[in-house]
Amino acid sequence: MAKPVTRRNFLWMGWGMFAAFMGSAAGAVGKFMLPNVLYEPSQIFKAGRPEDFPLGVSTKLTKEFRVWIVKTPTSLYAFWARCTHLGCTPNWFDAENRFKCPCHGSNFSIEGDVIAGPAPKPLNRCAVALLPTGEILVDKSILETRPGFRDKRQFMIDLTAKA
| pLDDT above 60: residue 163 | no
Task: State the Cα angle at 51 between 41 and 124, rounded to 5°.
Answer: 45
**What percent of the chain shows pLDDT beyond 90?**
46
pLDDT 10s digits, 91-109: 999 899 899 988 888 999 9
How many whole angstroms separate alpha carbon 83 and alpha carbon 124? 8
Residues in the chain: 163
pTM of the model: 0.71
pLDDT 10s digits, 61-95: 888 899 999 999 999 999 998 988 888 889 999 89
Domains contained in the chain, number: 1
Q: What is the CATH number of the domain that holds 87?
A: 2.102.10.10
- The answer as to whether 35 is a domain residue is no
- The answer as to whether 93 is a domain residue is yes
Q: Which domain holds residue 105?
A: 44-158
151 with 126: CB under 8 angstroms?
A: no
